[in-house]
Structure 1
Amino acid sequence: MDSKITSIEKKYLVGKKIEMSLVESLTPTLWKSFVPSIGSIQNRVSKEMISLSVYPTDYFQNFNPNRKFIKWAGVEVSSLMDLPEGVEVLEIPAGLYSVFLYKGLASEAGPFFQWIFREWFPKSEYDLDNRPHFEVLGDKYKNEDPSSEEFVYIPIKPR
């Protein structure tokens, strides 16, 4: 699996969030609550959707699948004007990311992420940075379809 190192500018995500763990995933519930409001969000940068996670600082050093984190379902916007009721805003700070292409069922992504943290990071010139992790769900994303594709953004910093 290859990755591409990219630097992103600050972004604004408009969406909904929920606290959850990997064991008690509430991702489908979150998306079902957010999708009806997508059409009323103005100033969208693209048609892509973003699935984003904000983890506690030491989440990966003391990994426990029962530990809670904040999960977002959202879209990127160019302006925070005229937001519909019921949505929130998250600023994604500028920074370096390693971008991976994931193909397959989201429910079967465990080994993919294990590879990133157990093999890619130790061999790379980077450490994990404490910024949001996110997936860009574009034209080739098909929820729970084996041919689905999404781009996975992992925050990094030079060692």
Structure 2
Amino acid sequence: MEPRILQFKEKLVVGISADMSIINNKTGELWRTLRSRAGEISSRNSAEFISLQLYPPGYFDHFDPNNTFTKWACVEVSTLNHIPLNMHYLTIPAGLYAVFDYEGSSGDAGIFQYIYGEWVPNSMYRLDDRPHFEVLGDAYKHNDPTSKEEIWIPIIQK
């Protein structure tokens, strides 16, 4: 699977976040909370949701499923005029991304094993220390093998 290589423009997102690890995964809790409160977020740019990860530098150099990162459940907004109570905002900085058009279950980790274990090491790019995220549009269906999403991986040339 070959990604599209795109220049990403800075975006603002609003949502909720939590520190977690692969072993201590709180993703379901984040999404239940955000989906129940998404109507409170004004200035949304689309109906899409964004699942975003902030990994500390070197996270993938010595991968350990106990290592922590910050996970966001969020939506893109055009302004920050009103941020609902107990929600936060984040600016996703501009930069180069590898975009994988993925079809399959969100519970299948195989795509990420391919991206980080095969595609990145064999490409002309290395990971950048910017947010990694998935765009979950109309064709996204949680844990469904026919689900579709875009996986955005921050990259820079080696």
Gaps of 5+ in 2: none
Gaps of 5+ in 1: none
Q: Sequence identity, in percent?
A: 47
**CA RMSD between the two structures:** 0.9
SS at match of 1:106: coil
**Aligned-pair CA distance for 1:83:** 2.0
Q: Which is further off, 28-37 or 52-61?
A: 28-37
Does residue 117 of the first structure (1) align with residue 116 of the second (2)?
Answer: yes
Q: How does 1:1-159 map to 2 (within 5 A)?
A: 1-108=1-108, 110-159=109-158
Q: In 2, distance between residues paired with 1:69 and 1:82?
A: 27
Name the TM-score, length of structure 2 as normaliser: 0.97
Q: In 2, distance between residues paired with 1:156 and 1:97?
A: 5
Partner amino acid, structure 2, of 1:81: N
Q: In 2, distance between residues paired with 1:125 and 1:113?
A: 18
Q: In 1, distance between residues paired with 2:133 and 2:99?
A: 10
Deviation by residue 1:77-116 (Cα, 9 ceiling, x = unmatched): 01000222121001111100000012111111x2211111
Q: In 2, distance between residues paired with 1:121 and 1:80?
A: 34
SS at match of 1:33: helix
Q: Runs ≥4 in structure 1, deviation > 3 angstroms?
A: none
Aligned residues: 158
Partner amino acid, structure 1, of 2:92: I
Q: Is the 8 A contact 2:18 2:70 kept in 1?
A: yes
SS at match of 2:144: coil
Name the TM-score, length of structure 1 as normaliser: 0.96
